[in-house]
Amino acid sequence: MLESKFASYAGPPFYLPMMDTYVADYQEEYDTIPGMMGADTYDAFYIAKDAIERAGTLDKSAVRDAIETTDLPQMLIITESGRIEFSTETETYHEIAPFTFVEQLFYDEEIGETRPQVIWPAIAPGVGTIKQTEFVLPENYEPGS
């Protein structure tokens, strides 16, 4: 099991519209699937681009201030609010509020590899259903082991 905020093997019903293109382009370029840090970095570049455009300059203070007022739709990383934002009307928190979920690895005999599937929670903000399967104890599990 693992805690994550990006699911490379997701797909319907669990994904954001950008994921299809991002995962396919990443696989074509690097011959492997993207991970969570790649998705974080992808989002970060678009956040920076948006802030620079809104600031109208490359001045550090102006760009920093623009980042504080970022309000974009979530892209690859699901957020608690469904938006990429670093401040609200009442507080400034200097980081997004990512929505984390739990995945369990399952062995896929057809391809001879393990694949993660979301087991918790059932729903994510701005996405809807994300749960792909139920948690399953391994056949050889013994309590207390």
Amino acid 93: pLDDT: 75
Answer with the residue of higher pLDDT: 105 or 13.
105
Helix (H, G, I), strand (E, B) or coil at 85: strand
Which residue in the block uniquely carries the two structure tokens 């608690």? 80
DSSP letters, 20-33, are HHHHHHHHHHHSS-
Average pLDDT value for the chain: 88
pTM for the full predicted model: 0.80
Amino acid 15: pLDDT: 67
pLDDT value at 110 more than 90: yes
pLDDT, one tens digit per residue, over 32-79 is 888 888 889 999 999 999 999 999 999 999 999 999 999 999 998 889
